[in-house]
Chain A
Amino acid sequence: MFKKVNSAAYSGLKSIGIDVEINTTKKGLSEFNIVGLPSKAVDESEERVKNAIINSNIDFPEKRITVNLAPADVPKEGSFYDLPIAIGILASALRFKIPEKSLFFGELSLDGSLRHTKGALPLALFAQSEGYKNVFLPEESANEAAVIKGINVYPVKNLDQIIDFLINKRKLKPAEYQNRERKEEEPEFDMSEILGQEQTKRVARIAAAGGHNLFMVGSPGSGKTMIARSLPGILPELSDKESLEVTKIYSISGNTSPGSGLIRKRPFRAPHHGISKVGLIGGGSRPKPGEITLAHRGVLFLDEFNEFPRSALEAMRQPLEDGGLTISRSKQRVNYPSEFMLVASSNPCPCGYLNHPEKECECTPRQVSRYRKKISGPILDRIDLHVEVPSVDVEKLKKERRANSNEKSKEIRKRVVKARKRQAKRFKKEEIRTNAEMKNRHVKKYCQLSEKTEEILSQAASKFNISARGYFKMIKVSQTIADLEDADEIKADHVAEALQYRSKM
């Protein structure tokens, strides 16, 4: 008997429909074969399905079973074909009809229950766009898929339950989306908790407002990591569209937790510097997203920036510029988005104590310059804001707390959002949204400079030997400072402040 069950596969972030065809015949020895370019995980599906059916107290048919995953030339991966295969086998054994316009998806446990499976949200999106009506998937993954409107998402606990439903013995209620993440998510660190570091906090605010990449240099323990970790808390909240994009990436890479829904928090990724090139930018023979894609719409924090393998950092150049990358392999070609804010930090020298107020630096000038040269120039070129984070005497600061620095992250976020709105209005006819994304032509078109501002700019350019690229970077940063102050024109004061954050490397 021949049965067809619909399911889906994904290549990169795109989903493709997969027909799971099951044929059972009495002719020949009883056997179970899966064809259609299955990977190891799909191949092993055989044992999971067999045992799950037996443990659900159903006799496994003693027949020759052939499963074909069509189209046969697309490589199949993952464990989510367990459910469609089991349904196909049981449909012919128990003689029930497979509901029309339905997708089946999920990994089986040997006891017949379904496990949380990655990729639920992209599947639901695929179902919606392709006109499917029903989606059957593991209960723990259902909430993620229920975000999508216009389809019935059936949460399935185990084989028993779904079979009872399909033979009309039991009712199954479609899942309703539950927002499990609190809307007002508390940030990991609040800006107001950070003592001192006035300038660094100011720079963090500018970075958030204009979407600029940030580079911090400072001795160990000066608070670089804390500043970086508090950044997501001052960035605008994820919009619905952004949230969907982020959840999709996390779902496909298996980073959503069971029962979770849409991700509302901006991603913050802080990979260790031992990371490989593939780990950072993504890849593999079946290309997987890397950290830069997982940080999409969020912050990628690279601590000890110059300890990262140079090849990995160099490979980051193009995605940093384009906000996405295409990974080409012989079998497939996938696109991954990577619009993230790069926050890098490093020590000022190998021992870490150059310019430290108390500790003595042990490095020779040569060691220092060699250490700094490890960072590639083209990457530094793509970072608009540079700041030195001084070491502070926390005890001393605790005594003299000042009001102006104690602004809560929530308040800062409001200002950031306001500045972003100004930018959105400015660039409404363009493809870009933030000042950081401006190309030279945008700078020339949109940035209003008074005569006095131009004067101070050219004065600064000659005094500090600023390159043409540095000149444009300064205008971009000045524009964000002006936006934060709700000013229509870039004033001399804005440029003077931006001068503080130029690269000193």
Chain B
Amino acid sequence: MEKGKIKIDDKRYPKRLANTKEAPEALYYKGDWGQKIFDKCLAVVGSRRMTEYGRKICTKLVSEVAARGITIVSGFMYGIDATAHRAAVSVGGKTIAVMPCGIEKIHPGYQDDLYKKILKKGGLILSEMPGKKGPAKWTYPKRNRIVAGLSQATLVVQAAENSGSLITANFTKDFKRKLFAVPGPLTSKVSIGTANLIKDGADIVTCSGGIIKFFMPKQEDIDFSETSGEQMERYENLSKKERQVIENLRTESLGVDDIARRLDLPANKAGTILSQMQLKGIIEKSGNKYYVSDF
């Protein structure tokens, strides 16, 4: 596998990053260094403590964006960062992981499977530090300037007040780049940061269409909110109870007991219906709650 060091005066050094203040003197990398990967870049950042909502939204938005050839840049941390990398990789998209530590170190270590996947799918691992240097408190915010600097736009999925993701958002503003934020329920801590960003002028994201349009203005209008034909087909032949389950899950994700109560069913019947729907692939379980598969 290719690895190396690229200095700021090198022709291959990404222009967009070079134009920012405090751009790193040199970048260490692993993977195939090509100019194309830096062509269209979207930074996706968010809380480490993402909620299930955050995971779902991040996966949906990123997979749709990455499928169109837009590179996803993020920080390889667990939570939203890792979810974004995974979503990009899963649709065969390119992704750049900017590490807060030396290029030879995988941090956090248990995500080594993701590390390998990123490289295998033609992505890049980047860092401004060589060797096996470990991360320190100050390397995370420093790393964020590279994430923001490489990208034309930054998408903040979930962020609490004082979250590290807001540092990336601030860099994005400083660099006069585009900022997107995902709205979330105000009852959740990790929605406050994004809500404030929207209040201060970040673009509110309701579907991936808005982001794709920013990168490819000439594209025809795409509507991603509609359910595809194949999914519509799955909803035919559903029993009355199954339809009721879907209706309830569309407004809110629920546990077995909640569904039993709402449908006025004993717990065993509710469990049976939910298992069968899971087998058909209409709903999914995560944590202790059920979701409609197509979101």
Per the 8 Å Cβ criterion, residues 373-402 of A in contact with B are 388, 390, 392, 400, 402
Task: Count how many pairs of residues, one from A and one from B, have CB atoms less than 8 Å apart in the complex.
Answer: 74
A197 on the B face (CB < 8 A): yes
Which has the most chain B C-beta neighbours within 10 Å: A355, A392, A500? Answer: A500
Interface-forming stretch among A258-266, A302-310, A358-366? A358-366
The contact of B275 among A355, A361, A364, A500, by CB within 8 Å, is A500
Judge if B222 is at the interface, Cβ distance under 8 Å.
no
A499 to B48 alpha-carbon distance, docked (Å)? 31
* A500–B260 alpha-carbon span in the complex (Å): 14
Is A47 on the interface with B (CB-CB < 8 A)? Answer: no
| B78 A500 Cβ-Cβ under 8 A | no
How many residues in B have their beta carbons less than 8 Å from beta carbons of A?
Answer: 27
Task: Report B47-105 residues with CB < 8 Å from chain A CB.
Answer: 48-49, 78
A392 to B257, CA, bound (A): 10
Contact of B257 among A354, A360, A390, A463 (CB under 8 A): A390
Taking residues whose C-beta sits less than 8 angstroms from the other chain, chain A's interface range is: 20 to 34
Q: Is A496 an interface residue (CB 8 A)?
A: yes
A369 and B257 alpha carbons, distance in the complex (Å): 26
Residue B267 CB within 8 A of the other chain: yes
CB pair A497–B255 under 8 Å, yes or no, is no
Question: How far, in Å, is A148 (CB) from chain B's closest CB?
Answer: 44
| Known pairs A199-B256, A354-B287, A496-B275; A402 contacts B261 (CB<8 A) | yes
Which B residues lie within 8 Å of A481 (CB)? 268
A459 to chain B, nearest CB (A): 6
Contact B272 A497 (CB under 8 A): yes
Complex Cα–Cα for A23 and B255 (A): 77
Q: Are A355 and B287 in contact (CB under 8 A)?
A: yes
Residues of A within 8 A of B110 (CB): 365-366, 369
Is A202 located at the chain interface by the 8 A CB criterion?
A: yes
| Bound: A456/B268 CA distance, A | 17
Known A-B contacts A364-B78, A390-B288, A463-B279; A198 and B272 likewise in contact (beta carbons under 8 Å): no
Asked if A366 contacts B261 (CB within 8 A), the reply is: no
Rounded to whole angstroms, the CA-CA distance of A202 and B261 in the bound complex is 14
Q: Is the CB of A355 within 8 A of B289?
A: yes
Annotate A342-369 by CB proximity to B: 1 below 8 A, 0 otherwise. 0000000000001100001100111001
Contact at B260–A459, with CB atoms within 8 Å? no
Give the secondary structure class of B's interface: helix
B189 contacts the other chain (CB 8 A): yes
| Shortest Cβ gap from A390 to chain B (Å) | 5
Per-residue 0/1 for A402-422: is the Cβ within 8 Å of any B Cβ (1 yes, 0 no)?
101100000000000000000
Measured CA separation A196–B275 after assembly (Å): 20
Given that A199-B257, A199-B271, A497-B272 are known contacts, is A404 also in contact with B48, CB under 8 Å in the complex?
no
Contacts of A360 in B (CB 8 A): 49, 189
Q: Contact at A456–B279, with CB atoms within 8 Å?
A: yes
Complex: chain A residue closest to B52, CB-CB: A355
Nearest CB on B from A300, distance (A): 25
Question: Which partner residue on chain A sits nearest B78 by CB separation?
Answer: A365
Chain B residue nearest to A203 (CB atoms) is: B267
Q: Is A201 an interface residue (CB 8 A)?
A: yes
A199–B260 touching, CB < 8 Å: yes
Contact call B78/A202, Cβ cutoff below 8 A: no
Residues of chain B within 8 A of A354, CB atoms compared: 287
Decide yes or no whether B134 CB sits under 8 A from chain A.
no
User: Contact at B257–A496, with CB atoms within 8 Å?
Assistant: no
CA distance A197 to B256 in the complex (A): 9
A196 CA to B49 CA in the complex, in Å? 29
Residues of chain B having any CB pair with chain A under 8 Å:
48-49, 78, 108, 110, 189, 255-257, 260-261, 264, 266-268, 270-276, 278-279, 287-289
Question: What are 6 A-B interface contacts by the 8 Å CB criterion?
Answer: A198-B267, A199-B256, A364-B48, A463-B278, A496-B276, A500-B275
Question: 9 nearest interchain CB pairs?
Answer: A198-B267, A500-B271, A496-B275, A355-B287, A499-B275, A202-B267, A388-B288, A199-B267, A496-B272
Give chain A's interface residues, CB within 8 Å of chain B: 196-199, 201-202, 354-355, 360-361, 364-366, 369, 388, 390, 392, 400, 402, 404-405, 456, 459-460, 463, 481, 493, 496-497, 499-500
